[in-house]
Structure 1
């Protein structure tokens, strides 16, 4: 049996951010879109009659995507994961490779604030929700704001 066939001796790619091969596989499996909270909120918003784009750039020149985009109303919705975006209630600093992951979360938070600022300057309303928030409450807030910005047509 060759070394590449033995999963117990699996090597990390050179310069890998993962603390172990198992951790690397676990982190690679985490979804960046279509998470359960996103799908629930989208389903509720759709049931209220609103239509939107999923995982798209609100501003084509800005290399950042919102989870839901209501183009004509200029509303961008983000459903942020507690770990990746540093939720003040639920974020728990990592125990392994803590320097890398803490810096990564801090960069995500800074990028989120920068995104909010750029979208707001361009006339967009940014709505951010944590993954732990009640989906129906989030959907209701989205509905109210999109209808308000559309002029309740």
Structure 2
């Protein structure tokens, strides 16, 4: 697929994408707040600086973009055709870092939940309700919950 914009324009556009306050993250935050949850954002003291932390429930939530964090089986987890080796190495490093930080959080007694961008695109209300149920369900601590690419929310611990 040919890029529709010049290289300098694409570079400028990509540089504006930040790690915090992304549109999917804001959707999750608004939904959780509307349901009465109170949380902290990007705490520096926790490994990986989770996007949302609910200390009352000992839950850390990551809101992942399917492209950058390689959501398995997702149509948005595409790989650019140019500089394939560069992108492969970058994506592998991202996935490895995510895994490592998740393990560190679990070792410290936190439940780790991941919300995928595609779930919020598909049906944000269902995604938020599913997430809220998982937060409230204390029995899901460090257990594998059913993860569906349709639901897009999962316990990764």
TM-score normalised by the chain length of structure 1: 0.74
Divergent runs of 4+, >3 A: 20-23
Q: Which runs of 5+ in 1 are unaligned?
A: 1-19
2:147 corresponding residue in structure 1: none
User: Is 1:78 aligned to residue 62 of structure 2?
Assistant: yes
Equivalent position SS for 2:42: strand
Q: Of residues 34, 38, 51 in structure 2, which corresponds to 1:51? A: 38
Structure 2: segments with no counterpart, 5+ residues: 1-6, 139-157
Structure 1 residue matching 2:79: 3-state secondary structure: coil
* Residue equivalent to 1:148: 137
- Output the TM-score relative to the length of structure 2: 0.73
For residue 67 of structure 2, give the secondary structure of its aligned residue in structure 1.
Answer: coil
Between Structure 1 and Structure 2, whose CA radius of gyration is higher? 1
Counterparts of residues 3-152 of structure 1 (less than 5 Å): 20-57=7-44, 60=45, 62=47, 64-88=48-72, 89=74, 90-133=76-119, 134-149=123-138
The aligned length equals 127
Distance 2:53 2:80 in 1: 32
Structure 2 counterpart SS, 1:84: helix
Aligned residue for 1:87, secondary structure, equals coil
Give how far 1:61 is off: 5.8
Q: Is the 8 A contact 2:46 2:105 kept in 1?
A: no
